[in-house]
Structure 1
Amino acid sequence: MKHASPDKSKTKVDAAAVDGATVPPNSAELSERESRWNYALVGSGLGVWDHNLRLGKRYYSDTWKIIRGMAPDENADGDFDTWIELIHPDDRDFVIKAVDRQNAGDPNYRIFEYRERHRDGHWIWIECRGACVEWDETGTPARLVGTDTDITERKGAQERLAHVSRRLDLALDISNIGVFEADIENGTVDWDDRLLSIYGITDTSPAGTGSAWEASLHPEDRDRVLATINECVATNTDFQHEFRIIRQDGIERVIRAKAAFFLDSDGRRKLIGANWDVTAEVRLNNELQRAKDLAEARNTELESAKESIEHLALHDYLTGLPNRRYLDRMLDDRSAECRRTGLTLAILHIDLDRFKQINDTLGHRAGDAMLKHAAQVLKRNVRSTDFVARIGGDEFVVLCNLDVTPKKISNLAERIIRELCKPIRYEGHDCRFGASIGIATDSGPALDAKQLLLNADIALYRAKSDGRNRHEFFSTDERRRIIASKRLADEILLGLERGEFVPFYQLQFHARTLDVAGVETLARWQHREHGLLTPDRFLAIAEDLDVVSMIDGLILEQALADRKRWEDEGLRIPKIAVNVSSRRLADPNLSKKLRGLKIEPRAISFELLESISLDDCDEAVIANLRHLRRLGIDIEIDDFGTGHASIVSLLKLSPKTLKIDRELIRMLPHSAEQRKLVRSIIDIGRSLNILVTAEGVETMDHVRILYDLGCDMLQGYALARPMPALQIAPFVRAASWRGADGPVAGSQLDLRKSVSGSGQR
């Protein structure tokens, strides 16, 4: 089947003629030698073939047949063409050439490999070794002998090794990892191409690469790296490190290296390692670290800014104390704790007394200094577990819980007041102020912190109302009063919407003739539930609501409408006096509103309470008074003698009328001193050409005495009580104050006598 001569001879060979030699005389020795070689060949797995071209004989051993899947006793005819068909198609041309060259004695083809189909169909690798052993007279090969070996397993191992090698090379190429092997004893280093490329080294000799590597180390890293390597060599320890190099082209790179020690087949200690360029990775890590550091720095700044904003949002900028927002948060926390533990929560609401005077006289800087001082006093006098807040203006709140008792809270409040009352030196001035404190406490599962704060505020209001520089505990009676005031305030606003505020009128009379001189308009509230209410029932609440000016305006409009109706009925009232509040008098739009009412000159007069500071009138008040005169509206000073109007202010204001307060009139029949005082007021009015009206004329003695004192006009129950507009006309027409049954009937005769007697004198 194999290695046929070029003439394709089919001659069969005798299996006994192996080498074609004549049997030597010592046949036993020869037989033993042949047996020995046969065993050796069989044991080595070599398939022997022998082509005797001169005799046309071909021999194939049993092993040669077994390699190809043939039976040992099977005949191998050695047909060349048949054998060539069994060769792998990719190897046929090569095998034909190799056989031809081997037959020709070409030493380059004594050994060659190829693939041949096994009897069961798979491919096996054959290693063919053959040579010419005999030549004819012309030098032509006459006999070729050789062996075939099944190298399929070896080829598979080589392929697997090649595959692994290819994968390793590919991986190293992709990862750009360079590999080196160092001989520790000889001091030589073998680098692969990748490693040379990484370092930019051109001298590829073992000695050259070793010195070039050390020279390439960055000066700042050289000592560290060499020390690491020397230590690892001394201790036979694997190592890993990272360092910088400067390539021969001047480029700086960062290298990461790993190395391990091993013994080669000769027992020599060697080091194998890998290097790779991590410059980009290090640069990226450095950039990421810088970004991280920057982000952390910014985060720290943001956190700091957040904390600062949070602090500013929860603290008072002036005193540094927690503010109202922080107080609300702490109220929720403390009340929840007290509800859970059963402890008592106490709230002290503190308001500084006389603080406004310091602000007004010494300025806001002084006021700020006092607020800072108050904050320090509060922090010094409370426990570390207590909470102090400034909730606005000159108001502070202290929260106490845990083991508080009314006695301890009272002692704390007294101590705070005592400390705050001590004088404070500020820019050469002794500043004095005090504090009023409202206290509310509660405990139990129903504790309501917001209601408790409201209760403390109610208690503070009572402390300030009862004289200041004191503390008061909340009481349910006070709360009921506050609730009633709140309800009344709501009802006042509703009453304004419904038009429930109406004018009542009290007639005024000439003292000498008892003729009607005019009427004073009085505000009344026709309450749907409580009936007719006088100002003492609603005026204070109306002032808090800042609606007195509105009530004054409504009363004025109704009074003008009533006067016109009286005139339409044939009744002429000389003048109507209406009250005007200080806020209405300071209204910059007052004159504009009055012009819109088209008031007849001298028909209306405005009564100003003497308690309005006439000496300190601002520009708006002075301007409005000037406009009132231009509109023909007279000015009257009400309740004269109990306020603080000076003679100078009377001269400046030039009122039409003074009304003596009823308190000065009440004791006239029983006090000579009162009569002297009233006479003095009347004389002042007369000297300044100002009419004088007496209020509170309750008896005929009042009428007689005031007549004798020279008073101009009288007003009081002795002559007429306040009445609604519809009763004015019938009352005036009836003139009952003059009749025999009138309230002053007895005095009329005396008055007439006095008048006639005066005329005789």
Structure 2
Amino acid sequence: MADQGNSGNALLERRLQELAEERRRLAMIIEGTAAGTWEWNVQSGQMRVNERWAEIVGYRLDELEPICQKTFIALVHPDDLALSDAALQDHFDGRTDHYVCLLRMRHRNGQWIWIHDRGRVFEWDGQGRPLWMAGAHADVTELQQARQDAAEMRQRLQAMVDASDEVAVIATDTDGIITIFNTGAQRLLGYTAAEVVGARRLDAFHDPVELQAWLRPLATADGQVPGVFEALSARADGQTYSRQWTLLRKDGQRRQVRLSISRMDGTHGERIGYVGMAIDITEILQARAEARLAAEKFAGAFTSAALGMALVSL
């Protein structure tokens, strides 16, 4: 019996050591992620949070105690509480596996910081109602600011591009998907930006006969003809590629343009896409043709006239 008791004590001690090691590893993981952890009793409002949770909003843990649901509500931006409540309800009703919400919380210094809040119910009561929930806060202020800066930069770029409505500007990503289609491009080609942005349809803008005649000499040894985006981007990889093209409007009308294509690089020199700028030269070419025809007619009349004619200065 003594041996059995000693064996049981050894098993218990080993199990306690394993649990302690598991807690240590979990604490190291949480510390490494710099996440603020929280536990919440949904029915009583009681909350348990770690030191990092308080640090994220600029406090020591003892400065926030006693911590409950009201503590969270007092720190969250009023406009974001409804979003949080809706995300919680979706999780409680089983429509989502996790509660996930991006919200603003007031830092002790008065600034609003962005928090990515994520959690899950881990205990339900006898009536199937949520009882205990656990999750983590992550400070994503810098990431959110970077996203906002990028969005604002894109808006400013779009405004600048749209202001040049006499020039058609079409930008693509590295796969040929159209990302920018300015008002000049809409005027030239007759499509709206909503019809083409997000699509790969550069070949739809070109005269098919002219395009095939240009692509045919670029065919590989086995007769494979490259696509229009692949061929144009290859020409523009080293330097700006310019050429006169016949483009087709949505209504089928043909327009003569001078199209210049350049590669766009990121901050580290990596390729991020291409931009094409086209100027409609249809009227210019027509005026030149009419002037040439008039000159030819005049020359014919001058040289073949039955009467003597002369051109003199003043």
> Scaled by the length of structure 2, what TM-score is found?
0.65
Check if 1:194 corresponds to 2:181: yes
Whether the 8 Å CA contact 2:105–2:112 is kept in 1: the answer is: yes
Task: Map 1:310-709; keep pairs closer than 5 Å.
Answer: none
Offset at 1:156?
A: 0.3
Aligned-CA RMSD value: 4.4
* Aligned partner letter, 2:145: G
Aligned mates of 2:70, 2:44 — CA distance in 1: 20
Whether the 8 Å CA contact 1:216–1:247 is kept in 2: the answer is: no
Offset at 1:65?
A: 0.5
Check if 1:90 corresponds to 2:79: yes
Aligned mates of 1:243, 1:162 — CA distance in 2: 34
Larger Rg: 1
Offset at 1:74?
A: 3.4
* Aligned partner letter, 1:241: S
Over 3 Å counting, the alpha-carbon distance change for 1:255 and 1:271 in structure 2 is: farther
> Scaled by the length of structure 1, what TM-score is found?
0.29
Say which structure, 1 or 2, has more relative contact order (CA 8 Å, 6+ apart): 2
Aligned mates of 2:262, 2:102 — CA distance in 1: 39
Aligned mates of 1:24, 1:113 — CA distance in 2: 43
Partner of 2:254: 252
Offset at 1:36?
A: 1.4
CA displacement, residues 274-320 of structure 1 (integer Å, 9 cap, x when unaligned): 13343379579969x99xx9xxxxxxxxxx736xxxxxxxxxxxxxx
Whether the 8 Å CA contact 2:47–2:69 is kept in 1: the answer is: no
Aligned mate of 1:180, from 172, 195, 199: 172
Over 3 Å counting, the alpha-carbon distance change for 1:271 and 1:53 in structure 2 is: closer
Whether the 8 Å CA contact 2:204–2:248 is kept in 1: the answer is: no
Aligned mates of 1:235, 1:280 — CA distance in 2: 24
Q: Report the number of matched residues.
A: 259
Aligned mates of 1:49, 1:250 — CA distance in 2: 62
Partner of 1:237: 238
Aligned mates of 2:217, 2:189 — CA distance in 1: 17
Aligned mates of 2:41, 2:273 — CA distance in 1: 56
CA displacement, residues 101-133 of structure 1 (integer Å, 9 cap, x when unaligned): 445555176100111111111111111101101
Aligned mates of 1:29, 1:138 — CA distance in 2: 34
Aligned mates of 1:174, 1:52 — CA distance in 2: 55
Over 3 Å counting, the alpha-carbon distance change for 1:54 and 1:191 in structure 2 is: closer
Partner of 1:388: none
Over 3 Å counting, the alpha-carbon distance change for 1:28 and 1:214 in structure 2 is: farther
* Aligned partner letter, 1:177: V
CA displacement, residues 346-400 of structure 1 (integer Å, 9 cap, x when unaligned): xxxxxxxxxxxxxxxxxxxxxxxxxxxxxxxxxxxxxxxxxxxxxxxxxxxxxxx
Partner of 1:213: 206
Partner secondary structure for residue 78 of structure 2: coil
Aligned mates of 2:40, 2:115 — CA distance in 1: 18
Partner of 2:47: 58
Check if 1:123 corresponds to 2:112: yes
Partner of 1:153: 142
Q: List runs of 5+ in structure 1 lacking aligned partners.
A: 1-22, 184-188, 294-303, 307-761
* Aligned partner letter, 1:237: G
Whether the 8 Å CA contact 1:98–1:112 is kept in 2: the answer is: yes
Aligned mates of 1:54, 1:87 — CA distance in 2: 20
Over 3 Å counting, the alpha-carbon distance change for 1:82 and 1:193 in structure 2 is: closer
Partner of 2:158: 169
Q: List runs of 5+ in structure 2 lacking aligned partners.
A: 1-11, 219-229, 296-311
CA displacement, residues 426-468 of structure 1 (integer Å, 9 cap, x when unaligned): xxxxxxxxxxxxxxxxxxxxxxxxxxxxxxxxxxxxxxxxxxx
Over 3 Å counting, the alpha-carbon distance change for 1:99 and 1:234 in structure 2 is: closer
Partner secondary structure for residue 70 of structure 1: coil
Give the share of equivalent positions with the same residue, in percent. 22
Aligned mates of 1:57, 1:224 — CA distance in 2: 70
Offset at 1:255?
A: 2.5
